[in-house]
Amino acid sequence: MAFSFLKQWRERRNTEDRNPPPITSQSQALNSNELVWFRAFGHQIPFFNCFSFFSTALSRSSPTRVYQIWPGRNVFFFRGRVICGPDPRGVLLSAVSVVLSEWIFCSYIGNSIRIISLSLLLTCTVIVSLILVSTRDPGIIPRKEGSVMEDIGSCSRIRSRRIAINGVEMKLKYCRICGIFRPPRSCHCSVCDNCVEKFDHHCPWLSQCIGLRNYRYYMMLIFSALVFFIYMLSFSWWKIGKMMSEKEWGGFQLVVNMPETFALALISFTAIGFLGGLAIFHVYLIILNQTARENFKQRYAESPNPYDKGLLSNIKEALFTRLPPSKVNFRAVVEKQDGSLTRTASIANSIEEEDSSPMQNKSNQEESSGSYQDDQVV
Ligand SMILES: [Zn+2]
Ligand SMILES: [Zn+2]
């Protein structure tokens, strides 16, 4: 019974994904965000999004805003001011594990105000980084309005464009879901259902895409969490060593008499291995000016990387250049025209700009030929 119900629900969801219904009223638009789907054991499982329900109830009397009709799977808080991935429980779990580690440290290991204060400072740095990376727009590219139905209906043509960047030919792929030619280095995230600029990967621990606008905060998170867990492990190990020498405890007695310290040491050790590997990999990527996706796909195995400007310039570009503003104003008011909801001019303009010349926005950073060669396969 439950399986057939889930099967029907999944089939309906798949049908909606292929043929999304046009948004004709505010209630329809709002309902689209009340269900959150996540994948577990190979199945899409629906969950009622209580956060969206409360925000919906609060905003019924206010004008419809872009975040309420946004077709991606993001979850919005504070009326569109905070944008998270489809399942914010991932970031909550990460935050709880850090706070829990800190609580164990303060309660059972830290033995002086100075040591505890420094651990609290490290915890705050990790939590702030976590919030910054998971609640920012990672670089979502606006969709072309009304393109989805048209493109699904006329899917016989596969379109792409070619463009030269620093003398290297790059292919701009057409995204049928967003209805745009994706700028170079961008990709459509299947989890969040958005095209994201300079897409690195989708992080399940943060439930957020890592892209152009939050990559440096991601690096800040990796390094602050690495330092935090090294700090935790150092003092846990120091206490374990002290107890073993003072009371001559063996491994079993250690686990029985101080399970919290032992657990913290074990968690810290595992976290250091995981975060250390990530840190090394991303430092390597920054030095080469590659994204994780480009590296996995071996994007520059046969052609040179046109974005590689040398060690210092690559580091500066990844971590210290000014971040571009968000291309989507999720708080913009949506105007109602002919019984359907359409986005405001500010969004439409950004879509036009994106579609007509994706490289124009990057003209101050990259040298491009400025001309396209269209490929059309009928
Ligand atoms: Zn897309
Ligand atoms: Zn994503």
pLDDT in tens, the chain (378 residues): 444 444 554 555 455 444 544 443 333 444 444 455 545 445 555 555 555 544 444 445 678 899 999 999 999 999 899 999 998 888 999 999 999 999 999 999 988 999 999 999 999 999 999 999 999 999 999 998 754 444 444 544 657 778 888 888 888 889 999 999 999 999 999 999 999 999 999 999 899 999 999 999 999 999 999 999 999 999 999 999 888 888 877 778 888 888 999 999 999 999 999 999 999 999 999 999 999 999 999 888 888 999 999 999 999 999 999 999 999 999 999 876 554 445 443 343 343 333 333 333 333 333 333 344 544 432
What is the identity of the amino acid at 219?
M
Q: Is the pTM for the entire model greater than 0.85?
A: no
Residue 312, in any domain of the structure? no
Q: pLDDT at position 20, please?
A: 45
DSSP 237-258: HHHHHHHHHHS---HHHHHHH-
pLDDT at 172 (0 to 100): 87
- Domain contains 283: no
Residue 26 lies in a domain: yes
- Centre of ligand 1 from the C-alpha of residue 177, in Å: 5
The answer as to whether 9 is a domain residue is yes
Give a yes or no: residue 25 inside a domain: yes
Query: Three-state SS for 228?
Result: helix
The reply to whether 287 falls in a domain is: no
Ligand nearest to the CA of 209: 2
Q: How far apart are CA 135 and CA 138, in angstroms?
A: 9
* 103 Cα: distance to centroid of ligand 1 (angstroms): 42
Total domain count for the chain? Answer: 1
Rounded to the nearest angstrom, the distance between the alpha carbon of 143 and the centre of ligand 1 is: 7
Q: What is the pLDDT of residue 216?
A: 96
Q: Nearest ligand, CA of residue 177?
A: 1
Nearest to 222 by CA among 285, 174, 169: 285
Tokens in use for 228? 């935090």
**Ligand 2 center from residue 351 Cα (angstroms):** 20
Alpha-carbon Rg for the chain in angstroms: 24
pLDDT at 47: 52
* CB neighbours of residue 212 within 10 Å: 24
Residue 37 lies in a domain: yes
Distance 190 CA to ligand 2 centre (A): 7
The answer as to whether 21 is a domain residue is yes
Select which of 178, 195, 203, 209 is catalytic. 203
* 50 is an active site residue: no
Pull the structure tokens for residue 239: 């206490």
Distance 26 CA to ligand 2 centre (A): 26
Three-state DSSP class for residue 195: strand
**What is the number of the ligand closest to the CA of 143?**
1
User: Which ligand has the minimum distance to the alpha carbon of residue 178?
Assistant: 1
Yes or no: say if 48 and 42 are a contact pair by the CB < 8 Å rule. no
> 200 and 210 in contact (C-beta within 8 Å)?
yes
Residue 68, domain extent: 2-84
**pLDDT for res 125:** 97
